[in-house]
Chain A
Amino acid sequence: MKKTVWFVAPLFVLSLSGCETYSLVQPGSNQVGAVTVTPQKSWNSASAMLTPSARRDSKTWTQDGLLLDRLMIIPDVPDGEAIFKSRDKSAALPVFRADMLPNEIEELVESSMAKMYGEGNAVLSTENLRPQKFGQHQGFMFEIDAAVSDSPDYRGIVGAIVIADRLNLVAFIAALPHYFDKHREAVERLIKTTVVRE
């Protein structure tokens, strides 16, 4: 009987916490794994249940709902791993390699996001790859565009830094035209606050 309680109780707690869909993210310094960002306004952090393709240690925040905008903070991706996860073993997700240069990480994000929308359901392109300092570290930023079947078009901004052979990404994507334009300035500022712990 005692064993049963010990077995059932965590499941019960888990099931309750699994019901929570969003939690509030306060403005100010927020740490997600090795990445710290400092938003100037509050965000809603989506639960893992709502973001099945997110890595376990990553966070997905939103202002107006995940279908309209999402900020993905993906820390500490080691060599050989994908930036998203998939239960489908035939998904052929591209993986990060420690020797990747900015152009290849830009391609990695483009291909990964195409998979996130469902292979064949979206056409993605990237542009404006440029250098960007994040704290003391040299990283880079670029923009991403997605035309998605049965959806509005999306645009996004991505910041990336590789430190100690690990990829750290902060990527925002939002529906065009309204939602991207509405959050662009705040998100660009937020991405530039990114600091990665060595």
Chain B
Amino acid sequence: MKYPRLLVCLLLGGAGNAIAASTDDEIQHKIPPGYEASEARDEQGLWMELRDYELALNKSALLVKDPELNNYINGIVCRVAGDYCNDFRVYLVRNSGFNASMTATGMMQIWTGLIVRSKSSDEIAAVIGHEIAHYTRMHTLERFRKIKSGSAAGSIIDIGIGILTGVPSPLAQSMVALNALAFNREQEQEADLLGAQLLAEASLDPHATYRVWENIIAEESAAAVKRRKPGMFSQTHPNAQTRVDVAKDWVNDRYGPPDQNIIADDAFVAILNKHYQTLMEDQIDTNRYGRTEELLQRHLEIGVEPGVVYYFYGEMFRQRGGTGDRQLAISAYRHSIETGAAPPDAFRNLGYLHLKDKDIQAARTNFKKFLDLEPNASDKAMIEFYLED
């Protein structure tokens, strides 16, 4: 599974960071449902490589095994895919980042970070529709052939330049790489628009296509530490604002303006509530508290259980550790506890903060409450040490 990053970016149709067609024409699929690799040797070879890749992925320790979560995601995939539903094997990967990818063979990877970043099932469907579009438009194979033919031509030109000038030249190969990246960006844009079309055909909201990217822009602007922007030689995707602009125009022209009130669907909120603790603990581990704060605000707005959202506000403030954050964390844990739905850890972590403030009585009260709720807690010895101290 160790592939050079650029090659993997070029060959996997990823939503990663990223987007052309006229509004009037339907974007057509290039393959029928149930497609198998043609007799072409390059396609056969690509499928073989991708099957090996899938076998390795099957052994990943990070695959989510929870049947309910997998059924929820598979249900969205089949709704968006329609007749193509049986072409796909969906792998839900426990990764706090925002990504999904698709191979020519129908192997789809979805990272759990997509779930915590979405506001509705429609937004998850938008990313899935994008990936399905990569598959039905045969983007992986096209990219593979583009790189292969370009590399061969580039090598011949570079050898020619080398012979004529006596200087080894990487010029044509570099031009081929840039050309492949531009081609990649065109494919991304096409996948966004066909994805929106698939959403509409499945009676889902095509406006979710660009809302996903508006969410990403909001998160990025809230980030305390910005992610390193890809250099011009690795921009496999159009930037998020370009994706919003192009998709927004296309969807509005084609399907009309969006509904004014966007409400998160019950199925999405229920699944987020059920797996919130695990998903957000992974987000907290990224130490990206600016982004976490933006996600928590989003979760309160869409109706995730407030007692648990406030608990994670406490975690985020405590992790940020700036001036005044301890008091903000104490307030957040108290707010969580007042809802009656706080995780037991809220009492323990509140106890620790009172200990720092040398409010021993409040610390003892909260530690005892934690042990009442979690009598077999694995850190019981540590808590008892402070209670006896």
Q: Does A111 contact B (CB under 8 A)?
A: yes
| A101 close to B (CB within 8 Å) | yes
Decide yes or no whether A151 CB sits under 8 A from chain B: yes
Are B348 and A120 touching (Cβ within 8 A)?
no
A130 touches B379 (CB 8 A): yes
CB-based nearest B residue for A130? B381
Contact between chains at B382 and A140 (CB < 8 Å): yes
B319 at the interface (CB under 8 A from A): yes
Q: Cβ of B224: which chain A residues have Cβ within 8 Å of it?
A: 92
**B residues less than 8 Å from A88 (CB atoms):** 228
Q: Measured between C-beta atoms, what is the minimum distance from A91 to chain B in Å? A: 8
Nearest B residue to A146 by beta-carbon distance?
Answer: B61
CB distance from A93 to the nearest CB of B (A): 7
Contact-residue size bin, chain A (C-beta under 8 Å from the other chain): 35 or more
Q: Count the B residues whose beta carbon is within 8 Å of the partner chain — how many?
A: 36
Q: Decide if B321 touches A97 in the complex (CB within 8 Å).
A: yes
Q: Which of B175-183, B259-267, B279-287 forms contacts with chain A?
A: B279-287
Residues of A within 8 A of B299 (CB): none
Q: Within 8 Å CB of B88, what residues of A?
A: none
Tell me the bound Cα distance from A104 to B348 in angstroms. Answer: 12
> With a CB–CB cut-off of 8 A, which chain A residues contact B286?
92, 111, 114, 119
CB neighbors of A among B335-356 (8 A)? 348-349, 352, 355-356
The 9 closest A-B pairs by CB, nearest first: A129-B379, A147-B61, A130-B381, A127-B378, A120-B95, A92-B225, A131-B385, A94-B287, A90-B228
User: Which residues of B are at the interface with A, using a C-beta cutoff of 8 A?
Assistant: 1-2, 56, 60-62, 94-97, 111, 113, 224-228, 282, 284-288, 318-319, 321, 348-349, 352, 355-356, 378-379, 381-382, 385
- What are 20 residue pairs bridging A and B, where the CB atoms are less than 8 Å apart in the complex? A92-B224, A103-B349, A103-B382, A104-B318, A110-B285, A111-B285, A115-B287, A119-B96, A119-B97, A120-B95, A121-B62, A122-B62, A123-B61, A124-B285, A129-B378, A130-B385, A131-B385, A149-B1, A150-B1, A151-B61
